[in-house]
Structure formats: structure tokens, C-alpha cells
A and B are shown apart, each in its own frame.
Chain A
Amino acid sequence: MAKVLVFIDNPGQALKKSSLELLTIARSLGEPAVAFNGELHDDAAAALAAYGVQALYRPSAADLDDYLVGPKASYLAAAVQTSGATVVLTENSAEGKEIAARLSIKLGAGVITDVVAVDPDGTAHKSVLAGSYTTTAKATTPVSVLTVKPNSITPEPAVTGTAPEAVTIEVPETATAASARVTARSEKPASGRPDLTEARIVVAGGRGVDGNFGPLEELADALGAAIGASRAATDAGWIGHDAQIGQTGKTVSPQLYISAGISGAIQQKAGMQTAKVIVAVNKDAESPVFEIADFGVVGDLFQVLPQATAEIKKRKG
């Protein structure tokens, strides 16, 4: 049976949903193994066991987080060799893709990014050109590396749990030689809202919010949604750049995308047109966003959103 190695960077207190998705996909492809970095807390270890992880690897070095990507890729390459894995799964974040990139060169392995589904034979499904095409692709090499987007599959624990013992992988001493070093780190204050790329619902604002994201935040909190923005809104400094959705920002594929005060130029569409349901509120009836909206309101977002928020709160009691 094929061995499938999942990389989980800093599992934290409890595994993220995206990690559980990777484990579920791994099990559908073969025998799942995990290489983690950082501390493994009891709850996270229990989740790995519940998801049927057969083999567990930890790095010999504790300082991999002090460097950008390079040493993590070296560790993972050693873990692939020890485990005999033929498929490696990582998350689709910027760092996940870069680790996959360096790993692929070390192993001579084909890498496919932005994967949303994997067939049992290793064929990967993804969308390209900002969601305008869906493609299938396959690595032509003995080992393949896939970076998988969040919200691709419903996580499911294994029928039979396991009790994997962590094996230490020696990180080569040369791994840190030609690597950039993180010399200072400042944590950003947590918003308490879900992560934008993983959120089930996204409420996004553009030029029309005119500096006031208040009504969007209230709606988002009533729905348990993440907040996003068009480039016009981030460039105006109304909200942080990490909220930007679009060609030069993040790509989101939520169940529901509520667009408020965004005209919906093609670059914005590029970041959200694979959302299941799109709702748009805009004053201008000619806005291109109405061409792709499942439900559109031509109206003032400062009237419509608070009314919707109040109605949701009323219904939810």
C-alpha cells in the first residue's frame, strides 16, 4: 500500500480543520504517516491516532521555526526517505507551497499546488486562471508532492484508531547553512473571526464602505464569518492588506460570499468566483458584480446590512 506523508507544521493544541482534511485525503490514498514540526500536545496526538496515522516523525532540531522554509524542506526530505512515502501532502499556504517547492527539487518530485481533490490513482484536481478552468494533473515522477486547499473535503476519523510512536528524524547539519533567518517576530492581535481562506462564510467590502467596516463586521459576527476586502479598500488603508481578496490577494472558496460596496472588477472576481453562493449589495445597478451574483440588492449597504444583521439575530433568537 502506498505510504502518504502529511506535513503538519506546529500542530498546536488541537489540529486545524485543514490538517484533518489532509489526514482524511491521505487515508483515501494509502497508509497515512505524519511528519510534524514543533510541539505535539496530547489533544493533537489523540487526533492523529483517531485519524489512523500509522507512523509519526519529529525533527531532531527544535529551531526550524527560526528559519524560512529551507531547513523544514530538508527535514521533510529526510522524513520522506525514512518513511518510503510516495505522496507528500502539505497545506496550500504560501509557506506550505514553498516547502513543497524546495522539497520537490530535493526529491526530483513533481509538485501540484491548489489541489481540491485527489483520486485514488494520484490524479489531482484543481482550478486554474482564477477559477475559469478546472484541470486534472498528475506527477510523472515516482514521488509526488501535493499542496491541498482548505475546505476540500469533510474530515472523517478512521474506523480503527492507531497509537503511533514518534520517530526522530535527523535534520542534516547543513540544512540551515544557506537559509534566511527570522530575527524578530511580532504577533498580530487575533480578530476572533475565522481564518479568511478557511471560512465557510466571507463578508467582503470595497470602495463603497467608505472607510467604515462596522456594518460588515456586525453582519460577519452574526453569521460567524470572516472579513475580506477588495484592493480599493486595502489600498485606502481602511483594513489590513491580509484581508485582500483577488488576483493579487487571497483566493477564497466559501459556501457563501457576501460582497458589499464592491463593483466586482475582474481582478476581484478572480479571488472569489468559485464561491458556492454569491450575494452582492451595491448602490450602482450597473456594477459587474451583479452579473455573477445569485442574489443582488441594488441599495445602500449602510441600510441593507444592519437590517439583515438585525433580522439574523432575531431569527437566531
Chain B
Amino acid sequence: MEEILKIIVLVKHVPDTQFDRHLTGEANTVDRSESILSELDEYALEAALQLTEARGGEAAGNKVIALSMGPAGAVNAVKKSLQIGATEGVHLSDEALAGSDAAATSLALAAAIRHLGADAPADLILTGMASTDGETSLVPAQLAERLGLPQVTFAASLDLDAGKLTARRDGDTHADTIEAELPAVVSVTDQINDPRYPNFKGIMAAKKKTITTLSLADIGVDAAQVGKAGSWTAVETAEARPPRTAGTIITDEGDAGIQLVEFLAAQKLL
């Protein structure tokens, strides 16, 4: 018989990368007014859905929990995840979390994951390969360290069997096959699958699904451990890079290749 899975997918509400993005306020935090579910997290959610659907889905008792940490707006990332197919949603939200760096974020998420695993620990924690805003890729590894779990990052394929996972990872110079015992923290790349879009049925079904809101008190974390106070790094200054301006644009009239090389020579780039 196939095992029943409990998977927690970490989803983040990030500024849409289609538009210009900004830092704001004294702490130079990211302006989240035009935000969406991070594109890279959709691959993690899809991977979770495929793994659980292969084992009979929700009807068989499999769970895909979408967990997002962030201000009020972050609940939209959870809602979108429910529309796509997550079985339940959790929004970790507390004013004290604002300004958390990767270390403080991983501390809060680790506590939330332990809280959600109080009855039965999750088999798998899935994430995207990076957030498209912070772009540090630190949180999955920090989370694995805090939870004492193996980490498998940048998985381009993922299979589970008998409490063990097998993943493929494509590096620049070599491709690896990776094995780890469950539970584990796994981040997946945008090569692993083609994420589905929410359909009408999914959108209607999501309205009946539960979103649990957790505060720091609920997960047993002290406000001083997170936010700016609990962070181990501080941004001191931020400056918008002057926008690039267009230079010389020519239309090819038969000698553009030569003009191009002349430009490179003038810039001492040859």
C-alpha cells in the first residue's frame, strides 16, 4: 500500500517581477503593495499535489498544507494555493515579524512547522528554489539545520518510496542523484514540472477550505527572537541604482557587424 503523505509547502507573497520593485521605509524593506504568489513556489505546490494525487489525494487522507509567513496581504498567497489545490492553508502573521532576515524567518517557520506537526510530523517540507524578492536562497537550508533534517535543494525531479526520497539535481559541471530519509526539506527548480492554473472548480472548492492564522504566541516564539531585534543582519543603507539609459541605436544597412566591433574597440573590450 502507498503511504499517506503530509506535505507542508512554503509559499511567499512577493512583489510581481513583471513590474519595477522598490525598497521602502527606514528599515529598507520590500514594498509589497503589488504582490502575488511567488512564481517559483508554484513548482513546489505542483510537486506536492502530484505526489499526493499519486497516493489517492485528499480522499485517501493525504494533506498538502500551504504555509505563508507575512503581513496581512500574504493570506492571498495562501488563498491562491488553496485554489490551485492545497488541502489547507496556514498564515503565520504577527507585527513583530516585520523586518526579519533569513535567520529570523527560518526560526519562525521552523516553530510553525513543529506546531503543525504536533499531531503527526510532516513527511516533507517543500519550497521553491528561491524567493523572487530576497533572492538569498538561505531559508530552506537554515530551516533544515534548525529542524535537524536533511536538505535536498534545487531538485529537478522528486520521487518518494518507502520513507525515502530520490531527487535529481543538475549542476553546471555534473548531474547528481540524491537520496535522503524522510522527513526532509526539499527545494525544487522550475524544471521539475509545469504548474497547473487554478480552474473554476478549484476556485469554488477553495472557498470551503480552512485558513488557520497563527501568531507568534501560538507557535511559542518570543517577539524578541524575530523581526529586526531577532535578526542577525541589518541593512544600513539602500540606494536606487540610476536607471540605464539607451545609447547609440543603429539600423543595419549592411555594415552593422563592423560598426559593432568598432564600438567594442572604442570601449577597449576587444
Contact = CB atoms under 8 A, between A and B. Distances in A.
A38 B61 CA distance: 46
B137 A98 contact: yes
Contact of B39 (A105, A181, A248): A248
Interface in B88-107: 101-103, 106
Interface stretch (B4-12, B16-24, B112-120, B197-205): B16-24
A109 B251 contact: no
Contact of B150 (A100, A110, A180): A180
A308 B137 contact: no
A227 interface: no
A185 B179 CA distance: 12
The secondary-structure label for the interface of chain B is mixed
B141 A132 contact: no
A140 B134 CA distance: 19
B153 interface: yes
A32 B256 CA distance: 50
A127 B265 CA distance: 29
B35 interface: no
Contacts, number: 269
A298 B151 contact: no
B176 A104 contact: no
A68 B20 contact: no
Contacts of A311: 257-258, 261
Interface residues of B, number: 87
23 contacts: A70-B145, A101-B102, A102-B142, A102-B144, A110-B233, A111-B138, A137-B235, A137-B236, A140-B232, A140-B234, A141-B232, A180-B180, A182-B177, A188-B172, A190-B173, A196-B172, A277-B269, A290-B249, A294-B247, A295-B247, A295-B260, A295-B263, A296-B248
Q: What are the 10 tightest A-B residue pairs by CB atom distance, in nearest-first order?
A: A307-B257, A299-B252, A110-B232, A101-B141, A180-B180, A294-B247, A308-B257, A184-B177, A110-B233, A296-B249
Interface of B: 17-23, 28, 30, 39-40, 101-103, 106, 129, 132-142, 144-146, 148-154, 166-167, 170-181, 184, 190-191, 231-241, 244-252, 255-261, 263-265, 267, 269-270
